[in-house]
A = this chain, B = another copy of it.
Amino acid sequence: MFEIKTRDGLARIGIFKTKHGIINTPALLPVINPHLMILEAEEMVKMGAQAFITNSYIIYSDEELRKRALKEGVHSILGFNGPVMTDSGSFQMYMYGISLPPLEMVRFQRDIGSDMGTIVDIFSENADYKEAEREVEETVRRARKSMKEKGDMMLACTVQGGIYPELRKKCARKLARLRAEIYPIGGVVPLMEKQKYADIAEIIIESKKELPPSRPVHLFGAGHPIIFPMAIALGCDLFDSASYIKYAKDDRMIFSDKTLRLAEMEESICNCPVCSSITIDELKEMEKEERIKRIAMHNLWQTFLEIKKVKQAIKQGNLWEVVEQRAYSHPSLLEAMEVIKENKKWLEEWENISKRRAFMYSGRYSIHRPIAYRLQKRIMERYESFFDKSVVFEEMEKPYSRMEYLKKLEANCIVESPFGPIPLELDEIYPVAQSLFPWNIDMETYRESKKLCRRFYKNMEVVGVDEVGKKSKDFDLRKIRSVANYQFGKGAGDALFKGDIKVVKSRTTGKIRNVICNGKHVVSMRASDGFFTLKIEGGKRLHSFFPFPKMRVVVDDDASPFIREGKNVFAKFVIDACREIRPYDEVLIVNENDEFLGVGQCLLNRKEMLDFERGMAVKTREGIKDM
């Protein structure tokens, strides 16, 4: 029911199908209180709402409303015929000590025709570890039973576990087995209110580590846009907002990075249809009820705007930049960056090979972005030096290889960039050439870079530029070898480029375009990110060089003929895949017997390919028809 269309690491633009229509994710579901509809569903649809959430407990506990809902369905109550999610009343149970029959509530949601129901989970806020653990077990027990009662309603099984990362992880792992349709992360409202963003980041990360990637994750109760970039970058897909109305009742206006009291404003700082049609003074003088409505509308406009901005960033591939910039708007968000930094190894597993936009330095966390971490790691592990001696250079204008004399040095040329050491041969790959740093980088980035450089030089003999010859002529060959090793793994360069090698360059830019070996087109090089795309010949060479399952995506035998014809690989036909595959990597498509079927570019990593039931896993570039 859920599939990914495009992504920026864990952040994804997806399509989520419900009985009442599609939700394009990431999405925000405004909360509607059936007792008090301050804004009509229709008005909110105009602002960008695709789906709504309402509380089944409120309907359930009002006899008249309950009867009507059972008769006409929840969609009729909300006056909306699109996707409707229902909450179970867990939060009310927690807040007001109400007791609800867990299974009865799930059946009720099913019976009123909710598209997405929610289990009655247990909200642990101030519970100690033992208590929270018991509550997690009870939540999981209820989820298990609820799955049997849900009928064709999609069910949201909420991850709980208080502020204990291990419990969150455990809860997520157990719930994952149920293969529910949605996985909310619950219990974050008090953390949002106290602006404990580091705790929220940790909870999301530990939950996401165990949740099935094929299911949308809903960050329950986090309706303030300040958290959206971070939460989405960590893999959340759905949000709900009661804040828009709660804040409005309190005369508070929501902005992407803050909340302001109406009283402290003299002039509007928003262009939304509300704010561009009336002044702040007019707003202040309105009748309370009318004012609440206007502020609620403003709040929703701002909230939806933030979702749109994040979607734009996902498409451009610069979401981490947005997350970091946002972090400087509140010290607590900076604390969350620390948690994210500590998880960069895990984040790298989901990170794209390259992005559309350049890597822009946005402060001391930029160097810890998953793509920077990968760059450092691969250079350490995969770069094979060509000479005995190495010469080190300060950072200079990019791409470094524009300096022709460097290419002729009979030494490994290493540039000390803010990313750490960059061998000259790798100066055009993403994000090296496509990066922008200020001259005044921060001290942590500087130190990290120096530390990486020192580690890199450990097994190298670093000499002065005057101590080496200047007649090397094979820079292009070194370059294609180095890029291949970096991109596909050690040894790939030798495996791909043997025989009579011809490097074809663009006449206008002088950049490498194609590599022909013994008359066969092996790879092309993308001008945009300096990486190779594999031709069938290149795929063949890597297939015979790398042992199974390296670089492979293994498809069901039934699907094999279609791949050979050049059809794309859908996730449901993937049987296995290499663990090292990263989104947008070049892959070898093989059948169950490791017969080479074609080459392509994947959208998903291994975990995703094996988990997703819908959507594309690999965009096939070329299949092998003959066989």
Which residues of A come within 8 Å of B, CB atoms? 257, 260, 264-273, 276, 301-302, 305, 308-309, 311-312, 315-316, 324-325, 328-332, 334-335, 337-338, 360-364, 436-440, 442-444, 447
Contacts and interface: CB of A to CB of B under 8 A. Distances in A.
A439 B197 CA distance: 13
B335 A440 contact: yes
A324 B334 contact: no
Contact of A335 (B257, B309, B331, B439): B439
Given A268-B308, A325-B328, A338-B440, 5 more contacts: A267-B312, A269-B305, A331-B436, A335-B439, A364-B364
Given A273-B273, A301-B276, A443 B440 contact: no
A331 B438 contact: yes
A340 to B, nearest CB: 11
A362 to B, nearest CB: 5
Given A442-B444, A443-B442, A443-B447, A361 B269 contact: no
Contact of A271 (B266, B271, B338, B439): B271
Contacts of A264: 316
Contacts of A442: 364, 442-444
Contacts of A439: 335
A362 B301 contact: no
A362 B330 CA distance: 7
A360 B246 CA distance: 26
A363 B328 contact: yes
B443 A334 contact: no
A269 B444 CA distance: 33
Given A269-B309, A272-B276, A273-B276, A440 B330 contact: no
B335 A271 contact: no
Contacts of A363: 328, 334, 363-364
A264 B257 CA distance: 25
Contacts of A316: 264
Contacts of A329: 325, 362
Contacts of A269: 305, 308-309, 312
A362 B312 CA distance: 25
Contacts of A361: 331, 334
A237 B345 CA distance: 48
28 contacts: A257-B325, A265-B312, A266-B312, A268-B308, A269-B305, A269-B312, A270-B271, A271-B271, A271-B302, A272-B276, A273-B276, A325-B325, A325-B328, A325-B329, A328-B362, A330-B360, A331-B360, A331-B361, A334-B361, A334-B440, A337-B440, A363-B364, A364-B364, A364-B443, A442-B442, A442-B443, A442-B444, A443-B443
A360 B329 CA distance: 8
A443 B307 CA distance: 33
Contacts of A362: 328-329
A338 B441 CA distance: 10
B273 A437 contact: no
A578 B335 CA distance: 43
A444 B440 CA distance: 12
